[in-house]
Structures are given as structure tokens and as C-alpha cells.
Chain A
Amino acid sequence: GAVVSQHPSRVICKSGTSVKIECRSLDFQATTMFWYRQFPKQSLMLMATSNEGSKATYEQGVEKDKFLINHASLTLSTLTVTSAHPEDSSFYICSARESGSTYEQYFGPGTRLTVT
């Protein structure tokens, strides 16, 4: 149980275009999902906390207009990287916390974004 999927697993896009990444909880409902970014050989950095039915909470330094987050249902959150630039190339990882649970998060496999 407690499986989180991400789609796509890899994406290559041209500079200036937008890319949408999906995060789904497959066998549980997730009131809260988290979006992380991981640079090569570095740790995960939280970008934003996504709550179903409300606006996401962004961490300091993360541009909310550039990284649009939508959490329209209890099993799906999306991250859209708008007007992507090469410096946005990174590994984006989501995690989901099961509704009613307070502690444990389940991580998705990540999406590798390359902007050319």
C-alpha cells in the first residue's frame, strides 16, 4: 500500500515552454502533498506544501508564479513549471501524506526535468 506515482518520469523541454508534472496517490487519499527539488548530488529541498482545495504554501525563495501548484483532488497534485529555463533543470519529487495521518510521507519516484 501507500504508493505514490509521478508522471512523467523524464521530460525534456525547450526554454520558454511550460511543463506539467503530476503526482498521484494510488491507494490512499492525500490531503497534503509536498513538492521537493533535488539538484545533482544534493539533498531534497522543499519547494511547497500543497493542500487539497486550497492554495499551496511556498517556501522562501520559490517563485509561486513560476511553479504553479494545483491540488484539485485528494489523489492528485500537479506542479507546472512555467516559462522554463535551463536553470530549472532538476529532479522534482513529490510526497503525499495520507489523510488522517500526521507523520509519515510517501515519496514518488521523481521527475527529471531537462530544459534545453
Chain B
Amino acid sequence: AQSVSQHNHHVILSEAASLELGCNYSYGGTVNLFWYVQYPGQHLQLLLKYFSGDPLVKGIKGFEAEFIKSKFSFNLRKPSVQWSDTAEYFCAVQVNAGNMLTFGGGTRLMVKP
């Protein structure tokens, strides 16, 4: 079965700092990859997704992620974070089209103003 690892459980940054959140998955076949964000008290929202094509994916709010197949990674990046980016971020993998998502453990990001 596939699994997803997010190595950074808690990240604290100052505003304007650059962000990179790690996501690695274990599955040898074709996958779809997602990053979701959960702001305090709110539901999950899709940040970006990768199905195929250009491995560098751009999402909402200035986020991007790069799929590196050889490393089984899909790291999330943002060049300059804002206080409003304080949230929990989840990486997810989908093995078969339309199938369920397997989530990583999540990373809590706190951005200090």
C-alpha cells in the first residue's frame, strides 16, 4: 500500500521568508499528487495538484510544487510567506484515477508577523 511522509511536523518562519515543505511517497507506479491547506477552523482546500506533464506545478496564493519522480517527492514551495499562510498543510497521493487519497501527517506552519 502507498504511504506519504511529511518530514516537517512544525515549521515556524518569519514573514517574507522562503518556504519549502517536504513530501515523499512510497509507490512504484503512476500517481496523482496533491497539496491541501487547512486554515484554522476551516476545511481542507486544494492548493495545487499534479496529474501529468510539467513537473513544476503552480497553485493558488503563490504556491508551487515540483514532482521529482526519481526521488518520489512532491515538495511545496513559496518564495515569500505571509502571516496569512499560517495553516496546516497536507500532501496527498492518489494511486488509481478516482480512488481515495492517502494523506501525509501534515505540517503546521506558523508565520510570525
Interface residues of A (CB under 8 A from B): 32, 34, 42-46, 49, 93, 95, 97, 101-105, 107-110
Contact = CB atoms under 8 A, between A and B. Distances in A.
B98 A110 contact: no
Interface of A is mostly: strand
In the A-B complex, the 5 residue pairs with the smallest Cβ-Cβ separation, listed nearest first, are A109-B43, A107-B44, A102-B98, A102-B97, A43-B103
24 contacts: A32-B98, A34-B101, A42-B106, A43-B90, A43-B103, A44-B90, A44-B101, A46-B100, A49-B100, A95-B44, A97-B98, A101-B98, A102-B97, A102-B98, A103-B51, A103-B94, A103-B97, A104-B46, A104-B49, A105-B101, A107-B36, A108-B43, A109-B42, A109-B43
A42 B42 contact: no
B103 A34 contact: no
Interface residues of B, number: 20
Contact of B43 (A43, A49, A110): A110
B102 A46 contact: yes
Interface of B: 32, 36, 42-46, 49, 51, 90, 94, 97-98, 100-106
B41 to A, nearest CB: 9
A3 to B, nearest CB: 10
Contacts of A108: 43
Contacts of A49: 100
Contacts of B97: 102-103
Nearest to B42: A109
Contacts of B42: 109
B104 A43 contact: yes
Contact of B105 (A43, A104, A107): A43
A59 B44 CA distance: 21
Contacts of B105: 42-43
Contacts of B100: 34, 46, 49
Given A43-B103, A46-B101, A109-B43, 13 more contacts: A42-B106, A43-B90, A44-B44, A46-B100, A49-B100, A93-B43, A93-B44, A95-B101, A97-B98, A103-B98, A107-B36, A107-B43, A110-B43
